[in-house]
């Protein structure tokens, strides 16, 4: 097992623990990076019109990490028409007169309880205050039901009041926004968070020194001028098997926008995600000091849409990398910018496909088995290869070029699965590779693993 596989295992294990200490204060030093939820009148946070876009398809396809089928009995039940909010020590079926609101159910729960949520539209939901004595509570949509909420606030961000910690929220749930700041041990699984293309400021926000957060099998998408659509900050985060897309902007750069912002975030596993149709960057890594212990593996990143210069920055590190690995990612029509040299703990950049802007020549960095079009540096190291751009593009199911649409309208995703004859097949390192690809399929088949996020069958 390589040190990066060990890092992934360690961080995933830590995400299941409780009571971890950590830091991650909101210390934005760049005037562009305004916390718009606290300063909505700041010029960079002003509304600049709205647009409605249709939602995309369903949640990411099910795989071995998807939630188990919903049980039919619960200790508590949530309904749009709550009653006495009665808890049963032994899980039981739904009784309308005993149903709860979301917050009343949490306040009445005991450690390990299952709270089932009946279908319906719940409007704004707020869960607070948190209860340190209660852990392992699960909210899950009841079998066969459809649940919708508007603003989902686990706590009160504006007043610094933490909500429920050590709690799991399992969908399917559709929401306009999701906030869980100041929390510890929160897991979100199978949610669809979308502003429907309307103006919506930082609609997914888990920061303020949060710990041990997991998002999986979910979608975050379609927000106009959000000043970062998905903001995460704290320590021990796992972001696995999600689709994050359509960070839209019609301000011609007045509002700084990216799909995802790592904001004073450390100890991160970011795996098996697909990110596309972002404005300035797919991920902006901005820390007050170092970007420490970050694994970015088996992801597909596509070119930001704001401008040709933006298109090269699928990932932009403004913070110093400190024990960071970029492994087996596919950068369609894009690449990576790193603005400062890694620390002595270094970086590993292995098994990636970079269409442009390969992050070469960095000190304290291990390179190998990266692939690029001819004319774009493959960074050297063992197994590094370059091929004709036309041959590479023909080797993807659907290659999506940069369109230069300015970022105000959604761009469709590519499909970067490899087809027979792709030069990326079998050319990565047979001694060092992820156990699974983005689809959750075991690697490898053939002489060696494939470069990038997908393994061919």
pLDDT in tens, 213-248: 999 999 999 999 999 999 999 999 999 999 999 999
Q: Coil, strand or helix: which one is 8? A: helix
- CA atoms of 96 and 94, how far apart (whole Å): 6
62 contacts: CB under 8 Å, gap ≥ 6: 217
Beta strands at 274-276 and 219-224: parallel, antiparallel or unpaired: unpaired
Top CATH class of 3-418 equals: mainly beta
**What average pLDDT does the segment 279-295 reach?**
93
**What average pLDDT does the segment 150-159 reach?**
87
pLDDT digits (tens, 9 = 90+) for 297-338: 999 999 999 888 889 999 999 999 999 999 999 999 999 999
Q: How confident is the model at residue 168 (pLDDT cuts 50, 70, 90)?
A: very high
Q: How far apart are the first and last CA of the chain?
A: 23
The answer to whether 293 and 261 have CB atoms below 8 angstroms apart is no
Residues in the chain: 457
Q: Coil, strand or helix: which one is 193? A: strand
Q: Which parts of 148-305 fold into alpha helices (H)?
A: none
pLDDT digits (tens, 9 = 90+) for 328-382: 999 999 999 999 999 999 999 999 999 999 999 999 999 999 999 999 999 999 9
Asked whether the predicted pLDDT for residue 253 surpasses 90, the reply is no
- Joined together, the tokens standing for residue 52 give 């409605």
- Compute the mean pLDDT over every residue in the chain, rounded to the nearest whole number: 87
Q: Where are the beta strands (DSSP E) in 128-203?
A: 137-141, 147-156, 161-162, 167-179, 186-194
The answer to whether 274 and 413 have CB atoms below 8 angstroms apart is yes
Q: Coil, strand or helix: which one is 386? A: strand
- Joined together, the tokens standing for residue 254 give 């007045």
- CA atoms of 285 and 263, how far apart (whole Å): 7
Q: Coil, strand or helix: which one is 375? A: coil
Question: Which one, of 259, 265, 258, 244, lies nearest residue 321 by Cα?
Answer: 265
Name the β-bridge partners of 284: 261, 316
Phi, psi of 103 (to 5 degrees): -70, -40
Q: How many CB atoms lie within 10 A of CB 290?
A: 18
pLDDT recorded at residue 30: 32
pLDDT recorded at residue 69: 78
- CA atoms of 290 and 113, how far apart (whole Å): 39
Q: Which parts of 67-141 fold into alpha helices (H)?
A: 102-108
- Joined together, the tokens standing for residue 140 give 């899950």
The answer to whether 263 and 289 have CB atoms below 8 angstroms apart is no
Q: Coil, strand or helix: which one is 403? A: coil
Asked whether the predicted pLDDT for residue 16 surpasses 50, the reply is no
Q: How confident is the model at residue 252 (pLDDT cuts 50, 70, 90)?
A: confident
The answer to whether 219 and 276 have CB atoms below 8 angstroms apart is no
**Four-residue CA torsion sign, 428, 433, 436, 439:** negative
pLDDT digits (tens, 9 = 90+) for 382-410: 999 999 999 999 999 999 999 877 889 99
33 contacts: CB under 8 Å, gap ≥ 6: 228, 256, 261, 263, 286
* Long-range contact set of residues 156-161: C-beta below 8 Å, sequence gap at least 24: 156/126, 156/128, 157/37, 157/181, 157/182, 157/205, 157/208, 158/37, 158/38, 160/208, 161/128, 161/129
The answer to whether 331 and 349 have CB atoms below 8 angstroms apart is no
**Cα-only R_g, the chain:** 22
- Joined together, the tokens standing for residue 138 give 């699960």
Instruction: Look up the pTM and report it.
Output: 0.87
Q: What share of the chain is helix, strand, coil (3-state, %, to 5)?
A: 10, 35, 55
Name the β-bridge partners of 148: 121, 174
Q: How many CB atoms lie within 10 A of CB 72?
A: 13
Angle at 87 (CA atoms; ends 86, 90), nearest 5 degrees: 135
Asked whether the predicted pLDDT for residue 5 surpasses 90, the reply is no
- Joined together, the tokens standing for residue 376 give 């774009």
pLDDT recorded at residue 47: 33
Tokens 């020590």 correspond to 89
């Amino acid at each position: 097992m390589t040190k990066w596989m060990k890092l992934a295992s360690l961080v995933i294990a830590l995400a299941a623990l409780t009571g971890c200490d950590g830091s991650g204060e909101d210390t934005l030093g760049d005037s562009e990076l305004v916390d718009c939820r606290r300063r909505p009148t700041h010029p960079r946070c002003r509304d600049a019109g709205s647009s409605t876009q249709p939602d995309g398809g369903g949640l990411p396809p099910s795989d071995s990490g998807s939630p188990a089928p919903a049980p039919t009995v619960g200790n508590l039940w949530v309904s749009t028409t709550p009653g006495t909010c009665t808890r049963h020590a032994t899980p039981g079926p739904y009784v309308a007169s005993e149903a709860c609101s979301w917050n009343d159910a949490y306040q009445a729960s005991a450690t390990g309880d299952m709270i089932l949520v009946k279908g319906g539209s719940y409007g704004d939901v707020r869960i607070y205050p948190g209860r340190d004595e209660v852990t392992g509570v699960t909210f899950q949509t009841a079998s066969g039901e459809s649940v919708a909420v508007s603003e989902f606030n686990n706590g009160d961000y504006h007043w610094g009041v933490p909500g429920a910690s050590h709690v799991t929220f399992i969908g399917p749930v559709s929401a306009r926004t999701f906030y869980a700041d100041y929390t510890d041990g929160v897991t979100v699984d199978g949610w669809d968070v979308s502003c429907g293309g309307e103006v919506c400021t930082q609609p997914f926000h888990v920061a303020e020194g949060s710990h041990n957060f997991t998002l999986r099998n979910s979608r975050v998408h379609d927000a106009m001028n959000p000043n970062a659509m998905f903001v995460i900050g704290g320590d021990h985060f796992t972001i696995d098997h999600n689709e994050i897309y359509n960070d839209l902007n019609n301000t011609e750069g007045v509002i700084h926008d990216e799909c995802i912002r790592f904001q004073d975030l450390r100890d991160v596993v970011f795996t098996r995600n697909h990110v596309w149709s972002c404005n300035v960057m797919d991920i902006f890594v901005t820390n007050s000091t170092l970007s420490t212990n970050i694994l970015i593996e088996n992801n597909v990143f596509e070119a930001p849409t704001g401008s040709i210069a933006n298109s090269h920055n699928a990932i932009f590190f403004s913070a110093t990398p400190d024990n960071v690995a970029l492994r087996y990612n596919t950068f369609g029509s894009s690449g990576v910018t790193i603005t400062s040299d890694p620390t002595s703990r270094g970086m590993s950049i292995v098994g990636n496909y970079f269409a442009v802007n390969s992050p070469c020549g960095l000190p304290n960095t291990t390179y190998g088995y990266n692939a690029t079009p001819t004319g774009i540096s493959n960074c050297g190291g063992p197994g590094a290869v370059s091929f004709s751009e036309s041959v590479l593009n023909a080797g993807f199911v659907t290659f999506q070029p940069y369109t230069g649409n300015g970022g105000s309208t959604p761009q469709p995703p590519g499909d970067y699965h490899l087809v027979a004859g792709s030069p990326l097949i079998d050319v990565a390192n047979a001694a060092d590779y992820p156990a699974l690809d983005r689809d959750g399929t075991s690697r490898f088949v053939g002489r060696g693993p494939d470069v990038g996020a997908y393994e061919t069958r």
